[in-house]
Amino acid sequence: MPNDFTATSSQQGQSAQPAVSVHNLTKSFGDNVALDQVGLSIDSGEMVALVGASGSGKSTLLRAVNGLQIADQGRVEIFGTSLQTDGKLHSNVRRLRSRIGFIFQQFNLVNRLSVLENVLIGSLSEMSALRAGLRLFSQEEKAQALAALERVGILNQAYKRAAFLSGGQQQRVAIARCLMQGAQIILADEPIASLDPESARKVMQLLTDLSREQGLTVITCLHQVQMVRHYFSRSIALRDGAVHFDGLTHDLNDERLNHIYGAAAEELVLSGHAEAIA
């Protein structure tokens, strides 16, 4: 299993292909165009913020990248292999998905299970249905899950029920589950929206460290512009489903933000956990 949590990207066998490339991706819900000919390429090990006003298509794009959302047209490739093309998932979608972890705003843990069991679930795609049903995990798998918990800094919580952890701790369990899965790409949809400023900072710092140490590719939807400016050198902004900006976050100045967010821009720049990173 590839779960040495200190491995470099080359040790993980990542290819020279972009981690994620999206070509001409279009998705409508009825008359509502959620994605409008989106194109982008994200290299292995890059950490990219996906920004834009509510309804601009960020979640739809993230979900399309791992095939949870099937687009109408266009193509998504993971490390150079097609995951979906023109409204059809490729037959290798499960294999490609195993390389992609997904983190949600509300953590998506199983509250009645222990923290350790929640992390072990990350290895389920490699287990038989019977073993999954009986929750029979090997000693090696348990050791890997404990190592993942140690890496995210909550080893001492391993045997608590997930429901008893704070929001920041729960989000770190979700990240540990991605590590257990052997994910090389993490898609994070508003991962800090439910957290207090200090927990938000710790989660963002953890994702940054993992990206640097292990060559993890991290694509994160965020509304907190201060956080975007602090943690991400590259930002991609969507407006009405189309890529409106793709470049250095440094160049995402207030004028551009005004254009991307409209009336909400000033509020976004001034708020959003600024106190935690000042």
Residue numbers at the binding site for ligand ATP (CB under 6 A):
29, 32, 34, 52, 54-60
- Give the nearest distance from C-beta 236 to ligand ATP in angstroms: 12
Which of 186, 242, 208 is closest to 19 using CA atoms? 186
Torsional sign, CA 54, 60, 66, 69: positive
- CB closer to ligand ATP out of 58 and 201: 58
Cα–Cα distance, 214 to 184 (Å, whole number): 8
- CB closer to ligand ATP out of 79 and 102: 102
CA distances for 109 relative to 41, 51, 86, 101, 121, angstroms? 30, 25, 32, 13, 10
Provide the CA 276 distance to its chain's centre, in angstroms: 21
Report helix, strand or coil for 184: coil
Specify the pairing of strand 185-189 against strand 100-104: parallel
- CB closer to ligand ATP out of 61 and 183: 61
23's CB contacts (< 8 A; 6+ apart) are 39, 74, 75, 76, 77
Report helix, strand or coil for 211: helix
- Give the nearest distance from C-beta 242 to ligand ATP in angstroms: 12
- CB closer to ligand ATP out of 11 and 32: 32
Kindly report the length of the chain. Answer: 278
- Give the nearest distance from C-beta 177 to ligand ATP in angstroms: 22
- Give the nearest distance from C-beta 223 to ligand ATP in angstroms: 7
Beta bridge partners of 9: none
Cα–Cα distance, 180 to 177 (Å, whole number): 5
- CB closer to ligand ATP out of 61 and 176: 61
- CB closer to ligand ATP out of 117 and 190: 190
- Give the nearest distance from C-beta 58 to ligand ATP in angstroms: 4
- CB closer to ligand ATP out of 2 and 55: 55
**Using CB atoms within 10 A of its CB, is residue 28 exposed (0-12), middle (13-18) or buried (19+)?**
middle
- Give the nearest distance from C-beta 96 to ligand ATP in angstroms: 21
- Give the nearest distance from C-beta 241 to ligand ATP in angstroms: 7
